[in-house]
Chain A
Amino acid sequence: MLLQIEALGKTYHGLRERRVLRDISLLLDAGEYVAVMGESGIGKSTLLNLVAGLDRPDAGRILLDGRELGAMDDDALTVLRRESMGFVFQAFHILPYLSVAQNVALPLLLAGAAGHGPAVQGILDAVKLGDRGDSLPRELSGGELQRVAIARALVHRPRLVLADEPTGNLDPESAAQVMALLRERVKSANAACILVTHSHAAAATADRVLILGADGLRPA
């Protein structure tokens, strides 16, 4: 099993305590593509942050490839993200001062890979931006930017892709293209994917759809 989430819980401590997640469990195998839906504020992004090691749970545990995230320090989690995960965000988060190719190459550079040109060109070709490598982000449309983000998320062949509302800023046509592309690339890389979305159309591209509620995570 690639990803194991067991009885996960998270509470935010502020002026008022707010329990965001309670008793969340999930098993995900390599190549599986699941969508998580739920109301706004129910904790979908929190769940992704916990799986990504960007936050710590108050209860339960998460194992990726048998390694428990709770036992790792911040540096180890950072390295884990670098090597094993890819991210696609609603707001794209493409660095404006790097070219398209440089943005896509970021994970490989961080991993210290030399001679990454062919890998970058290959993934750009796969997302149909093969001739836009030298373009700057401001020259691309929203849909194109999200394709760059998908390319960046997959160029280093991660084990797990986390996509948070990837179609939130796109028109329906671009959204459909992006979702189809994301599924195709994830499957061809045999990566697992957790897709958080409000869109039923986007969720429909997943193998499984789960609903996150106050009582936990259950199939739709």
Chain B
Amino acid sequence: MRRLQRFRRFLPLALAPMRLHQGRAVASVLAIALGVAMGYAVQLINRAALAEMEQAVQTLSGTADLEVRGPRAGFDETLYARLARREDVAVASPVLELELRIAGIGPVAPGSSDSTLRVLGLDVFRAGHIQPELVAMASDAQSAASTDMLDLLRPDTLFLSPAAATAFKLKVGDMIALRAGLGERRLRVAGLLAAGAERYAVMDIAAAQQAFGVTATSGTSGTAGTAGTPGTAGTPGLINRIDLRLRPGADTQRTQASIAAILPPGLFIEAPRANVTRNTMLTRAYRVNLNVLALMALFTGGFLVFSTQALTVVQRRSQLALLRVLGVTRRGLAALLLAEAGVIGLAGALAGLALGHAAAALVLARFGADLGSGFFRGLQPELHFAPDLLLLFLLLGLLAAFAGCLVPALEAAQASPARALKSGDEQEAFAPLRRAGPGAGCLVVGALLSLAGPVNGLPLAGYASIGLVLFGAVLLMPWLAALVFSHLPEATGIASKLARMQLAASPGQATVSLAAIVASFSLMVAMAIMVSSFRQSLDDWLTQVLPAELYLRVPTGVDGVFISADEQQRIAALPQLRRADFLRAQQILLAEGRPRVALLAREIDPADPARMIPLVAEAPPADATKALPPVWVSEAAADLYALAPGGAMDVPIAGRNVRFRVAGIWRDYARQQGALVIERSLYVGLTGDHRATDAAMLLSPGVTTEDARRAVHGVLGGDDRVEFGEPGEIRSTSLRIFDRTFAVTYALEASAVLIGLFGLSTSFGALVLARRREFGMLRHVGMTRRQIAAMIAHEGLLVSGLGIAVGLALGWVLSLILVHVINRQSFHWGMEIHIPWEKLGLLALALLALAVLTALFSARRALSGEAVRSVREDW
């Protein structure tokens, strides 16, 4: 207690040095604040978005114990009747979920260009038992007055969620036209639902099947259907989900297993929680990546604290030795220095939390929750106070500051007071850092970790690898500095001679600046190479996958819209087109608990698939007599489902498993959850489904794309059910989306760069100011100001030159880990390394110039008359 009281009385005096060097203290506080703000804001936004998404999913799932899910196109509804008759099932609720294009309405929500509406076809009597929120009506007077409960069963009515009504500016009684098959269907808004932060509508399931032609082409129960055929009485409809509530006392796991055994291929039964988990997993890699980037900003902030504190402690070496002489114990001295760091950390963390909260609120209000991944587009979640996150980032800010100060504090405490009282002892502080062992050890362990696989789908070993390689390189800087600077070639001119001699004999203090340059520049370089590689690979990929001159497609994520067989024939016969290839895309489930993968049935020559898809691996030629039909899987599908060229896989098509041979792996940046390509003729043969969702067209000589577009539009009835695109447009849109996706990454990288440059400026400045007496002595013996300035500039050039060279090499190594380990394991994207030499060259020059300018700016004060007088002063 006495010790604590003594410490508290002594603390204000111990913190007094910060008043003398306010600039450095402020820079350190800002560095911590920026890192904390980035991380906190990203976490707040992601948490709000996930909570909103989870709430939406839970609203849709209600109180179901189990859910049966299948392909997005739907499966035969007769399965529902079988399950509903089971003794262990209390209620079975069939659901038909469709994303439908609203005819004639433009973008409605911030940051979104969607004009789609999710329509849920429900059996309202059964749904009322399991998802009461979905069928509860709004209780306000206007809605209640205009709602006829029989409207729930009528074929031409639907009910909107509050979010949908607001987004599309619709009220009870209005009409809404939804795109369906070859035409459109007009429905009356019969009422508003009580709940729903997402945009959706509810209508009778039979009415939805009839209205949007969602029926099976075969009456066989369990047959997965082909949606879009106009509904006729007696034809089974399609559904894409069955929610089950079990009888009290029923064993959920046993029931699940029992039902799973009778499900046709391509259908799975799971707990509703799995849907939440699946949606969460979709975004997990992206969220973790953003968090790591934010933490990198915090790491750089901590490193700034280290570089500032290290130099400060060295410069105050004799002052700290005096305190030891006067009676401060080793532990007391370390505690005082750590208290300084604690003040910086606390101030920085509090400022960062306030800044982060404000930033998160601003981003959510103006841009929604989508930070570039695309998964949260359209969500407008609210920001909630999160005390656990607050505490976490407060502690992280403090930890960054303490970690930055720990080594200097321990060194100062261990130093011999008798020696430290004498000036000239400063280099001793850095002597222990010159060992190469710890740094080399970190590099080796980091390299080994880069070879490890993902942990629970996350590249944790990859992240650890990056951290260790970076840390190891920084630890090696004192050793490298001593080695390089002691072997510099002879220089001409007194300024450059003295500069080199100073660095060769006393590299210690320059090492801190060197480490700051290496840490921040290497991260800059690594991110620049990664983003450039990705962008270039995407560009190359687009060039490869867009060989045609005109494309058309059904909008992504929209159901019930397609190009009929008749329309395909008429399009192919157009004189404006030399050739038209059609593709059928749909979403299927390959495994329980996983998101759907895209099944693409297209024209492809099995003998030369690389002409149509960008192959990265191919299986050896198969024995023709035993050959299974080929499937080409995307890199993501290969990673997620452990598929390899030459292996076999079952693909659920038309209600049965069809065995394929994996003929190759292709690169696909469009579908992160995986995609499979099969021959269209095979698909048509298996399913009888001749419809298409995409077309790639080559034009006849002399025909413009505008002419071709008009002609095709004419075949399709002139409506806006499909989208057209030319390769150039698609390419530039794709790259724009890429840049938007990486906007947050760029922002986080920029903050790390900024913090690094802070560190460079403050450490360089501190270094120069600490040598005032030396400069004063040089002025005494006759060196001009200009010569001393040239000497300082030369030192700055050498130190930053070495730092930039090491930073470039280290950044390249880090980029390899980012590209081949982290990106691959997180997002399953392969890419080729592309080094943006021009951009890196400019960055390097800018850093070099900044370092020299900073050194010269600091030298101005160091070269003043005060410096000459300081030769005679204490310190």
Contacts of A145 on B, CB cut-off 8 Å? Answer: 874
Whether the pair B874, A81 counts as a contact (CB closer than 8 A) is: no
Contacts of B326 on A, CB cut-off 8 Å? Answer: 81-82, 87, 106-107, 110
Minimum distance in angstroms from B865 CB to a CB of chain A: 14
Minimum distance in angstroms from A75 CB to a CB of chain B: 5
Is A6 close to B, CB under 8 A?
no
Which residue among B19, B330, B874 has the maximum number of chain A CB atoms within 10 Å of its CB? B874
**Given B20, B324, B325, B327, which contacts A111 in the complex, CB threshold below 8 Å?**
B327
Contacts of B13 on A, CB cut-off 8 Å? Answer: 98, 102, 106, 109
Whether the pair B325, A52 counts as a contact (CB closer than 8 A) is: yes
Separation of A95 and B5 alpha carbons in the complex (Å): 23
Whether the pair B874, A109 counts as a contact (CB closer than 8 A) is: no
Q: Given A81-B325, A112-B5, A145-B874 in contact, is the A93-B330 Cβ separation under 8 Å?
A: no
Is A94 close to B, CB under 8 A?
yes
Minimum distance in angstroms from B839 CB to a CB of chain A: 44
Is B329 close to A, CB under 8 A?
yes
Is B641 close to A, CB under 8 A?
no
Q: Given A78-B324, A83-B327 in contact, is the A55-B20 Cβ separation under 8 Å?
A: no
Provide the B3-15 mask, 1 if CB < 8 A to any CB of A, else 0: 0011001100100
Q: Given A89-B421, A93-B322 in contact, is the A74-B329 Cβ separation under 8 Å?
A: yes
**Given A54, A95, A107, A112, which contacts B6 in the complex, CB threshold below 8 Å?**
A112
**Given B20, B327, B875, which contacts A81 in the complex, CB threshold below 8 Å?**
B327
Q: Given A55-B418, A110-B10 in contact, is the A94-B327 Cβ separation under 8 Å?
A: no
Contacts of A79 on B, CB cut-off 8 Å? Answer: 327, 329
Is B328 close to A, CB under 8 A?
yes
Q: Given A109-B9, A109-B13 in contact, is the A96-B329 Cβ separation under 8 Å?
A: no
Provide the A27-68 mask, 1 if CB < 8 A to any CB of B, else 0: 000000000000000000000010010110000000000000
Separation of A120 and B241 alpha carbons in the complex (Å): 85
Separation of A162 and B181 alpha carbons in the complex (Å): 100
Whether the pair B874, A114 counts as a contact (CB closer than 8 A) is: no
Is B150 close to A, CB under 8 A?
no
Whether the pair B325, A91 counts as a contact (CB closer than 8 A) is: no
Interface of B is mostly: helix
Q: Given A54-B416, A89-B421, A112-B6 in contact, is the A97-B20 Cβ separation under 8 Å?
A: yes
Minimum distance in angstroms from A170 CB to a CB of chain B: 12
Minimum distance in angstroms from A74 CB to a CB of chain B: 7
Contacts of B318 on A, CB cut-off 8 Å? Answer: 91, 93
Contacts of A96 on B, CB cut-off 8 Å? Answer: 20, 319, 874-875
Is B417 close to A, CB under 8 A?
yes
Minimum distance in angstroms from A40 CB to a CB of chain B: 14
Q: Which of A97-146 contact B (CB under 8 A)?
A: 97-98, 102, 106-107, 109-112, 114, 137, 145
Separation of A89 and B872 alpha carbons in the complex (Å): 15
Contacts of B325 on A, CB cut-off 8 Å? Answer: 52, 54, 81, 87
Q: Which residue of B lies closest to A137 (CB)?
A: B874
Whether the pair A110, B328 counts as a contact (CB closer than 8 A) is: yes
Contacts of A137 on B, CB cut-off 8 Å? Answer: 874
Contacts of A78 on B, CB cut-off 8 Å? Answer: 324, 327-330
Minimum distance in angstroms from A78 CB to a CB of chain B: 5
Q: Which residue of B lies closest to A50 (CB)?
A: B418
Minimum distance in angstroms from A69 CB to a CB of chain B: 14
Is B17 close to A, CB under 8 A?
yes
Separation of A110 and B13 alpha carbons in the complex (Å): 11
Separation of A137 and B326 alpha carbons in the complex (Å): 18
Whether the pair A93, B874 counts as a contact (CB closer than 8 A) is: yes
Whether the pair A54, B417 counts as a contact (CB closer than 8 A) is: yes
Q: Which of B235-290 contact A (CB under 8 A)?
A: none
Q: Which residue of B lies closest to A55 (CB)?
A: B418
Separation of A118 and B132 alpha carbons in the complex (Å): 79
Separation of A190 and B235 alpha carbons in the complex (Å): 115
Q: Which residue of B lies closest to A80 (CB)?
A: B327
**Given A49, A94, A97, A106, which contacts B874 in the complex, CB threshold below 8 Å?**
A94
Q: Given A79-B327, A102-B13 in contact, is the A95-B322 Cβ separation under 8 Å?
A: yes
Minimum distance in angstroms from A108 CB to a CB of chain B: 10
Is B2 close to A, CB under 8 A?
yes
Minimum distance in angstroms from A106 CB to a CB of chain B: 6
Provide the B842-875 mask, 1 if CB < 8 A to any CB of A, else 0: 0000000000000000000000000000001011
Whether the pair A54, B875 counts as a contact (CB closer than 8 A) is: no
Is B16 close to A, CB under 8 A?
yes
Q: Which residue of B lies closest to A153 (CB)?
A: B326
Whether the pair A92, B329 counts as a contact (CB closer than 8 A) is: no
Q: Given A97-B20, A112-B6, A114-B9 in contact, is the A92-B874 Cβ separation under 8 Å?
A: yes
Q: Given A54-B416, A54-B417, A89-B421 in contact, is the A97-B327 Cβ separation under 8 Å?
A: no
Separation of A195 and B392 alpha carbons in the complex (Å): 56
Whether the pair A49, B330 counts as a contact (CB closer than 8 A) is: no
Contacts of B17 on A, CB cut-off 8 Å? Answer: 97
Contacts of B875 on A, CB cut-off 8 Å? Answer: 96
Provide the B411-435 mask, 1 if CB < 8 A to any CB of A, else 0: 0000011100100000000000000
Separation of A57 and B324 alpha carbons in the complex (Å): 19
Contacts of B417 on A, CB cut-off 8 Å? Answer: 54
Q: Which residue of A lies closest to B318 (CB)?
A: A93
Contacts of B9 on A, CB cut-off 8 Å? Answer: 109, 112, 114
Contacts of B10 on A, CB cut-off 8 Å? Answer: 109-110
Contacts of A52 on B, CB cut-off 8 Å? Answer: 325
Separation of A81 and B20 alpha carbons in the complex (Å): 28
Q: Which residue of B lies closest to A92 (CB)?
A: B874
Contacts of A91 on B, CB cut-off 8 Å? Answer: 318, 421, 874
Contacts of B416 on A, CB cut-off 8 Å? Answer: 54-55
Whether the pair B329, A75 counts as a contact (CB closer than 8 A) is: yes
Whether the pair B418, A97 counts as a contact (CB closer than 8 A) is: no
Contacts of B5 on A, CB cut-off 8 Å? Answer: 112
Separation of A91 and B328 alpha carbons in the complex (Å): 20
Separation of A96 and B328 alpha carbons in the complex (Å): 18
Contacts of B327 on A, CB cut-off 8 Å? Answer: 78-79, 81-83, 107, 110-111
**Given A81, A92, A98, which contacts B16 in the complex, CB threshold below 8 Å?**
A98
Whether the pair B16, A97 counts as a contact (CB closer than 8 A) is: yes
Separation of A168 and B355 alpha carbons in the complex (Å): 54
Whether the pair A95, B319 counts as a contact (CB closer than 8 A) is: yes
Contacts of A109 on B, CB cut-off 8 Å? Answer: 6, 9-10, 13
Contacts of B2 on A, CB cut-off 8 Å? Answer: 112
Separation of A109 and B326 alpha carbons in the complex (Å): 11
Separation of A111 and B327 alpha carbons in the complex (Å): 8
Q: Which residue of A lies closest to B333 (CB)?
A: A78
Which residue among B2, B10, B19 has the maximum number of chain A CB atoms within 10 Å of its CB? B10
Contacts of B421 on A, CB cut-off 8 Å? Answer: 89, 91, 93
Minimum distance in angstroms from B424 CB to a CB of chain A: 12
Q: Given A49-B418, A78-B329, A112-B9 in contact, is the A97-B19 Cβ separation under 8 Å?
A: yes
Which residue among B2, B20, B319, B872 has the maximum number of chain A CB atoms within 10 Å of its CB? B319
Contacts of B418 on A, CB cut-off 8 Å? Answer: 49, 54-55
Q: Which residue of B lies closest to A164 (CB)?
A: B421
Minimum distance in angstroms from B23 CB to a CB of chain A: 15
Question: What are 17 A-B contacts with C-beta separation under 8 Å?
Answer: A49-B418, A74-B329, A75-B330, A82-B326, A82-B328, A91-B318, A93-B319, A93-B421, A93-B874, A96-B875, A97-B16, A97-B17, A97-B20, A102-B16, A107-B326, A109-B10, A111-B6
Binding site for A on B (CB under 8 A): 2, 5-6, 9-10, 13, 16-17, 19-20, 318-319, 322-331, 416-418, 421, 872, 874-875
10 smallest A-B Cβ distances: which pairs?
A82-B327, A112-B6, A54-B418, A49-B418, A97-B20, A110-B327, A97-B16, A78-B329, A93-B322, A75-B329
Binding site for B on A (CB under 8 A): 49, 52, 54-55, 74-75, 78-79, 81-83, 87, 89, 91-98, 102, 106-107, 109-112, 114, 137, 145, 169
Given A95-B319, A106-B13, 19 more contacts at CB 8 Å? Answer: A54-B417, A55-B418, A74-B329, A78-B329, A79-B327, A81-B325, A82-B326, A91-B874, A93-B421, A95-B322, A97-B16, A98-B13, A98-B16, A107-B327, A109-B13, A110-B328, A112-B6, A114-B9, A137-B874
